Structures are given as structure tokens and as C-alpha cells.
């Protein structure tokens, strides 16, 4: 039920170099991951092991990419889940799934002879919303409580350290218990990219595409205020489709300009011109 992505240099196909912008966020995340890599030293100094990192920011800004890059960086077993996978109408099922997820993470780490497992939970607010606020709140509360128990209980499995990376675009909805020390006590902001970051993201997505000499990514970066990384990826992809339709073998500036308008309008990307 939960996705398993192999960690390690060969396993995870995303590295921090594939992520444009977010310099601060990357630095913070890498610093936190050094903790995980140096588990022995951390223990020796009596530092509390890091258990949770929260990536907070709007949709499509690269939170999932960050988590994948993190898994590769630590050579950890990596599991992906989404908050909505834990929402069930039957009492106890959500909590059971949380238990299962952590058990699977530890087993996978042992199998891979790794000391660390990373669990990425997208849409954390669905699972970790404030307790007592839902109509079927007993079930939600049990699920969240189980997550807290698993995060607190990690000391009891000293051979495997589980790091939970949560992602949310609604941090305001999270139960405050999740933010307590020893839980998600590192918050990394992953915001919309500024002009410089947009340029970097465009360059990343144009890396393996043939560009005509008139292409000016700086001007595209200037025009795309408010776009997320996902929007920018769509712009480049849409421009490539336009070039293909025009029978050209490289992208021109006009393709990119039109693609910006299209993405901005949120048009269906596969709409064909009238016959």
C-alpha cells in the first residue's frame, strides 16, 4: 500500500542538484541529514536524535523532490505515504496503518543493512490535523496519536533510526502536539521561487532539450512571477509539445512565451488547434 523508493546514490533518482532555488531550505535539510548520517557521534554527544522534519510551503514547490533527494543523501530506506491513506471510517484502521508503515520502514532498513529509514508523509495535515476538530474525531485522534507514539517510540529500536519527513501546505491546521521537541522540531520552508530560482528551475528543465539561439530564459523567469516549480516544468514541457507540433526539432522563445500564457490560463495541455 505504501510506496517504497530505494534510497542511496543509485536508488533515488533525484539529487539536490535537480532542485532549483531553495538554497536555504536545502542547506537546512542537509544539515539535519548530517545528524542522521553521524548517528554515532550524535549519540556520543548525547544529542537527541532527529525524528521529524516538516517541509512547509505551497503546492508544486518541490517538497516531494526534497524528500527524495534527502533519502538519496542518507542512503536510507525510503517509504512514501500520503496523509489521506490513513483516513478511514472504521475505528482503529488508520492507527493500524501507521503502525504498519513504521514496521515496514524498520524492516526495509534492516533488509538493506541501513541504520536509517526515511518515511515521507505528504499531505500531513490530513493525518495530523488538530485533534477533536473532525466529526469522526475519535478515529482521527487515534491515528494521530499512533503517529506520535511511533515517533516517540523510536528510541526503543536502537538499530534503526526512523526519520519522518512531513510535507504540508497547511501548517496552520497541524495539531500542536506534532511540533513539540522530539517530533517535527525542524521546520523547513519551501516557498514559491523568486526570479533567480525560477531561472535555475527553467535551466534544470531545459538541460536535456535542444534550444534555439533566440531562447532567453531570463526573460521567461521575469514573466513568471507566482509560478511554482511544477508550473515552470509544465511551461517547458508545453513549449516542447508546441515545437513538436510545428515540426521543429528545437524549442524557440515563442514556444516558451506561449506556454507561459497557456499555463497561466490553466488550459488543457493537450488541446489541439481547430481543424
Residue nearer to ligand ATP on the CB measure, 124 or 154: 124
Q: Does 74 bind ligand ATP (CB under 6 A)?
A: no
Tell me 134's DSSP state.
S
Residue nearer to ligand ATP on the CB measure, 64 or 145: 64
Q: Does 235 bind ligand ATP (CB under 6 A)?
A: no
By CB atoms closer than 10 A (0-12, 13-18, 19+), residue 132 is exposed
The single residue among 7, 26, 35, 62 that binds ligand ATP, judged by CB under 6 A, is: 62
Q: Does 36 bind ligand ATP (CB under 6 A)?
A: no
Complete edge-to-edge strand list for the sheet that includes strand 116-122: 3-5, 77-82, 116-122, 161-168, 52-56, 184-189
SS3 call for 163: strand
x-or-dash string of contact with ligand ATP, 139-178, rule CB under 6 A:
----------------------------x-x---------
Q: Does 116 bind ligand ATP (CB under 6 A)?
A: no
Task: Quote the cell numbers at residue 45.
Answer: 554527544
The single residue among 125, 175, 233, 238 that binds ligand ATP, judged by CB under 6 A, is: 233
Q: Does 115 bind ligand ATP (CB under 6 A)?
A: no
Give Cα separations from 143 to 135, 153, 172, 174 (angstroms): 14, 15, 19, 14
Give Cα separations from 197 to 162, 206, 217 (angstroms): 31, 14, 12
Q: Where are the beta strands (DSSP E) in 83-183?
A: 116-122, 161-168
Place of cell 538499530: 159
The single residue among 22, 51, 112, 115 that binds ligand ATP, judged by CB under 6 A, is: 22
Residue nearer to ligand ATP on the CB measure, 62 or 72: 62
Residue nearer to ligand ATP on the CB measure, 64 or 96: 64
x-or-dash string of contact with ligand ATP, 181-210, rule CB under 6 A:
--------------------x--x------
The single residue among 51, 75, 83, 122 that binds ligand ATP, judged by CB under 6 A, is: 122
Q: Does 5 bind ligand ATP (CB under 6 A)?
A: no
Q: Per CB under 6 A, which region of 27-35, 43-51, 60-68, 108-116 contacts ligand ATP?
A: 60-68
CB of 64 to ligand ATP, least distance (A): 3
Give Cα separations from 8 to 5, 11, 25 (angstroms): 10, 5, 21
User: What is the C-alpha separation between 119 and 197, in angstroms, rounded?
Assistant: 27
Beta bridge partners of 81: 121
Residue nearer to ligand ATP on the CB measure, 22 or 51: 22
CB of 58 to ligand ATP, least distance (A): 7
Give Cα separations from 11 to 6, 8, 70, 86, 264 (angstroms): 5, 5, 12, 26, 35
Q: Does 72 bind ligand ATP (CB under 6 A)?
A: no
Contacts with ligand ATP, residue ranges (CB under 6 A): 19-22, 59-65, 122, 167, 169, 201, 204, 229-230, 233
Amino acid at each position: 500500500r505504501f510506496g517504497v523508493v530505494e534510497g542511496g546514490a543509485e536508488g533515488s533518482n533525484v539529487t539536490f542538484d535537480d532542485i532549483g532555488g531553495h538554497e536555504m531550505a536545502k542547506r537546512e535539510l542537509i544539515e539535519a541529514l548530517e545528524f542522521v548520517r553521524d548517528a554515532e557521534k550524535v549519540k556520543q554527544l548525547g544529542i537527541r536524535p532527529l525524528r521529524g522534519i516538516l517541509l512547509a510551503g505551497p503546492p508544486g514547490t518541490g517538497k516531494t523532490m526534497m524528500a527524495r533527494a534527502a533519502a538519496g543523501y542518507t542512503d536510507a530506506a525510503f517509504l512514501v505515504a500520503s496523509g489521506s491513506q490513513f483516513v478511514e471510517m472504521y475505528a482503529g484502521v488508520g492507527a493500524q496503518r501507521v503502525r504498519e508503515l513504521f514496521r515496514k520502514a524498520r524492516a526495509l532498513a534492516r533488509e538493506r543493512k541501513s541504520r536509517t529509514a526515511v518515511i515521507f508523509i505528504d499531505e500531513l495535515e490530513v493525518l495530523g490535523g488538530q485533534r477533536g476538530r473532525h466529526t469522526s474525531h475519535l478515529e482521527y485522534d487515534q491515528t494521530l496519536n499512533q503517529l506520535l507514539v511511533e515517533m516517540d517510540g523510536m528510541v526503543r529500536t536502537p538499530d534503526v533510526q526512523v526519520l519522518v519527513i512531513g510535507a504540508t501546505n497547511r501548517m496552520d491546521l497541524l495539531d500542536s502536539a506534532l511540533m513539540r521537541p522530539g517530533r517535527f522540531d525542524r521546520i523547513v520552508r519551501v516557498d514559491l521561487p523568486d526570479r533567480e530560482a525560477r531561472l535555475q528551475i527553467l535551466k534544470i528543465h531545459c538541460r536535456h532539450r535542444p534550444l534555439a539561439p533566440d531562447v532567453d530564459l531570463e526573460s521567461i523567469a521575469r514573466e513568471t512571477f507566482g509560478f511554482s516549480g511544477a508550473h515552470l516544468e509544465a511551461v517547458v514541457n508545453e513549449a516542447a509539445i508546441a515545437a513538436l507540433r510545428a515540426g521543429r526539432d528545437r524549442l524557440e522563445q515563442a514556444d516558451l512565451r506561449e506556454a507561459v500564457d497557456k499555463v497561466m490560463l490553466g488550459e488543457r495541455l493537450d488541446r489541439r488547434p481547430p481543424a
